[in-house]
Amino acid sequence: MLQSADTRKIAFLGDYLPRKCGIATFTADLRGAVAAQFPAKQCLVVPVNDLAGGYDYPAEVRFEITEQDLSSYLRAADFLNITDVDVICVQHEFGIFGGPAGSHVLALLRELRMPIVTTLHTILREPSTEQRRVLRELIRLSTRLVVMTERGRELLHEIYQAPAAKVDLIPHGIPDMPFADPNYFKDEFNVAGKQVLLTFGLLSPNKGIEYTLRALPELLREFPNVVYIVLGQTHPNLLRDEGEAYRLSLERLAKDLGVQKHVVFFNRFVELEELMRFIGAADIYLTPYLTEAQITSGTLAYAFGAGNAVVSTPYWHAVELLTAERGKLVPFRDAGAIARAVGELLHDEPLRHAMRKKAYLLGRDMVWSRVAQLYGRSFEQARQDHSFVGRRSSPIKTLDEQPGQLPELKLDHLFRMSDSTGILQHASFTVPNFAEGYCTDDNARALVLAMMLQRLGQGSPRISERAATYAAFLNHAFDRERGRFRNFLSYDRRWLEEVGSEDCQGRALWALGLCMAQAGQGGLQMLAAQLFEQALPATAGFTSPRAWVFTLIGIDEYLRRLGGDRHANQVRETLTARLLQCYADTAGDGWLWFEDVVSYANARLPQAMILSGRGLNNGAMLEIGLKSLRWLVKVQTSDAGSFRPVGSNGFFPRGKERALFDQQPIEAQATVSACIEAYRATGDMAWVTEARRALEWFLGRNDLGLALYDSTTGGCRDGLQVDRVSQNQGAESTLACLLALAEMQALQNALTSFKEPSAG
């Protein structure tokens, strides 16, 4: 029990009411139960906000985290350490924390000095690479882990190798309500004399409600007084992405089946007291979920523990809870089986009431007061375990130990330069220059940025809209007869050439490959796949090494999603072989390069070698990429230690003097990308230093000491000349800087969360 005199303060981290989601309800119920069981303890809450304005929280909320802002997680860690919290209870669910697979929470947990007890609401049997990585790190950082089912404990051990000694099995809590006859509550909902079926929870397609609707015609032939109540609003994420399409499809289905008079939809989020009255009025509770991979169902726990007779599909939690004749299990996606199981229970009242009593009696071990006591034991054990291994060091850090501060990634100028056609090429100062029109190169870069922002968790409806516009530009640019992209489009929408450059083709393939890897299922991904497949064959005839490497970067992204594509793999092998031959033919005598001139977008060549070396498991190829990048970084570092890209006013021919100016933003951005890839391949922090050095060129650490990045608008000036910075902020330069910032932010997030190279 949690009775130690020095356990004074407990913090709960997760979503919290009045946010409308299951985790928020659970956190509020758990916190309230612990506070009631241990009144001498202070129980504070640190919630995660998915809305800019947050929520109207109650007094126990002491600090708020912005979901996608990594720095707010670190500030929360400082708050928890400074306010001497004795133990923190984390509610973990994929989708509530920011960063790839919710990795931002790891940065917070790593900084804490108190023991961490983590409740795992979802344990995936087939996690993605990022999900597996996050959960294994979460297991490592947690002092104790709480699972709600025996199956959850098994999965933790089998899939994630969690130590059995640190896992506690504590059931999902439920309200303590009396065992009552459903008829007592039916008058309130105007269903007196009816046989009431109930499903509740946030509405989404994985709930399988359509199968219960299809079971109703058969049931109604024998039980004409049946009423099916579907209680709960549409899941906020589904509502945001698809509106009420699923609910409307269910309503249409009910009408098509002729059962609309027997179906009631309550489209709202109900508070606990009202919810328990709905549960009390139900004769049978249904969870017709579509897949077995659900380790915990709070709705099932509530209905079961209240003494409902339950009919459910055999997902993991249901199988465990409904054994020993405590409920009925039916096959997935089987309306007939649902009708037969419900009919049997409605026919056999003694069987139904016996099932209810068994469920209710077991539910007494699940009431919140009992669950709070079990959590108290887990908290006490966590404090003992934490004391045994010793406290973590002080969170106070020197400047060298802190992550480098990055400027805000602002998109004002990007949006200013974009219209319904795409992104314009050039600007006169900060004003779009209509006379220069558009190009595929820049729209491909802009699409890459939109995908990167979504990967960072910084997507928005406006970004999604722009991504669709940039993709539409590429679609319009593609000449399907030639299999090539056109490049330059006038402001009045006339193509100015029949075929674009090879580099343009490569950049388009890069953007399309990233769309395949990053975009969710939908029209954008399908369009990207179609264009990628149609455009890839033309690269076989290309002679430009930069077109090769842009294509290789796109192929690397594409194969993350479709690794078995033989054609894409064959093209990768062909292009890397050509690049290797260039290096073999040219490198030597201190010139570790692929060509006889260092010209533009230079670091992309070693970057492609590093990516392909890793993808093809070719150590020699990887080493050439790293060796040539080291040489290039040395060439492009000034005596003062700042990044100095080869100037475009003459470049750097072999055996001749290098041009110092005009220095271009795409050189700095390419170097940032390549050095980050080198770090991912080697884990050598020296590459992070080089990436940061190249980024700082944008911020004023350059030959003139002048910033190119306009931190007020997110625009970037077009280049560094011998005596001044260009004041024009065109698309290429702006996108180069924003892409470099996005890549560095992703790297810094990964370093802060994992302290090791990311899988990407």
For 178-232, the pLDDT digits (tens) are 888 888 888 888 899 999 999 998 899 999 999 999 999 999 999 999 999 999 9
Q: What is the CATH number of the domain that holds 198?
A: 3.40.50.2000
**Residue 193 bridge partners (DSSP):** none
Do residues 229 and 165 share a domain? no
Query: How many of the other CB atoms lie within 10 Å of CB of 407?
Result: 14
Q: What is the pLDDT of residue 398?
A: 56
Do residues 189 and 273 share a domain? yes
**What type of residue is 275?**
L
Do residues 105 and 77 share a domain? yes
Helix (H, G, I), strand (E, B) or coil at 500: coil
Do residues 352 and 372 share a domain? no
Spell out the residues 6+ positions from residue 241 whose beta carbon is closer than 8 angstroms to its own. Answer: none
Mean pLDDT of 245-267: 95
Do residues 636 and 558 share a domain? no
Mean pLDDT of 43-50: 97
Q: Report yes or no on 532 lying in a domain.
A: yes
Q: What share of the chain has pLDDT > 90, as a percent?
A: 85
Q: Report yes or no on 422 lying in a domain.
A: no
Q: What is the pLDDT of residue 396?
A: 58
Judge contact between 563 and 507, C-beta under 8 A.
no
Rg (CA), the chain: 30
Q: Is the peptide bond before 18 cis (omega within 30 degrees of 0)?
A: yes
Mean pLDDT of 686-696: 97
Q: What is the pLDDT of residue 395?
A: 52
Number of domains in the chain: 4
Torsion 236-238-239-245 (CA) sign: negative
Q: Which candidate, 311, 330, 298, places its Cα nearest to that of 174?
A: 298
Give me 464's structure tokens.
């999604």
Judge contact between 111 and 74, C-beta under 8 A.
yes
Q: Report yes or no on 127 lying in a domain.
A: yes
Give me 197's structure tokens.
């079926």
Q: What is the CATH number of the domain that holds 622?
A: 1.50.10.20
Mean pLDDT of 488-507: 97
Q: What is the CATH number of the domain that holds 471?
A: 1.50.10.10
In angstroms, the CA 418 to CA 123 distance is 42
Q: Which of 365, 386, 416 is the last residue of a domain?
A: 365
Q: Which candidate, 675, 760, 734, 744, places its Cα nearest to that of 404?
A: 744
Q: Report yes or no on 412 lying in a domain.
A: no
Query: How many of the other CB atoms lie within 10 Å of CB of 371?
Result: 23
Do residues 697 and 674 share a domain? yes
Q: Report yes or no on 686 lying in a domain.
A: yes
Do residues 697 and 736 share a domain? yes
Total residues belonging to the chain: 760
Do residues 222 and 301 share a domain? yes
| pLDDT > 70? residue 2 | no
Place 756 in a pLDDT band, splitting at 50, 70 and 90.
Answer: confident
Q: What is the pLDDT of residue 14?
A: 97
| pLDDT > 50? residue 299 | yes
Whole-number mean pLDDT of the chain?
93
Q: What is the pLDDT of residue 389?
A: 55
pLDDT digits (tens, 9 = 90+) for 577-634: 999 999 999 999 999 999 999 999 999 999 999 999 999 999 999 999 999 999 999 9
Q: What is the pLDDT of residue 394?
A: 46
Spell out the residues 6+ positions from residue 70 whose beta carbon is closer than 8 angstroms to its own. Answer: 98, 99, 104, 107, 748, 749, 752, 753
> Domain of 464?
437-574
Q: What is the pLDDT of residue 520?
A: 65
Q: What is the pLDDT of residue 654?
A: 97
Torsion 374-377-378-379 (CA) sign: positive
Do residues 567 and 595 share a domain? no
pTM above 0.75, yes or no: yes
Mean pLDDT of 112-131: 95
Mean pLDDT of 451-471: 92
In angstroms, the CA 755 to CA 750 distance is 7
Do residues 326 and 383 share a domain? no
| pLDDT > 70? residue 728 | yes
| pLDDT > 60? residue 160 | yes
Three-point CA angle 335, 339, 344, nearest 5° = 150
Q: Report yes or no on 614 lying in a domain.
A: yes
Strands (E), 480-557: 484-485, 488-489
Mean pLDDT of 558-562: 92
Do residues 69 and 97 share a domain? yes
Q: Is the peptide bond before 662 cis (omega within 30 degrees of 0)?
A: yes
Judge contact between 229 and 203, C-beta under 8 A.
no
| pLDDT > 90? residue 10 | yes
Q: Which of 519, 542, 574 is the last residue of a domain?
A: 574
Place 712 in a pLDDT band, splitting at 50, 70 and 90.
Answer: very high
Q: Report yes or no on 417 lying in a domain.
A: no
Q: Report yes or no on 593 lying in a domain.
A: yes
Q: What is the pLDDT of residue 458?
A: 86
Q: What is the pLDDT of residue 403?
A: 59
Q: What is the pLDDT of residue 275?
A: 87
Q: Which long-range contacts (CB under 8 A, 24 or more apart) does 419-426 make?
A: 420/469, 421/469, 421/473, 421/489, 421/493, 422/446, 422/469, 422/470, 422/472, 422/473, 422/489, 423/470, 423/731, 423/735, 424/491, 424/731, 425/730, 425/731, 425/732, 426/728, 426/730, 426/731
Q: What is the pLDDT of residue 237?
A: 78
DSSP assignment of 326-370, as one string? TSEE--TT-HHHHHHHHHHHHH-HHHHHHHHHHHHHHHGGGBHHH
Q: Which of 553, 574, 595 is the last residue of a domain?
A: 574
Do residues 481 and 630 share a domain? no
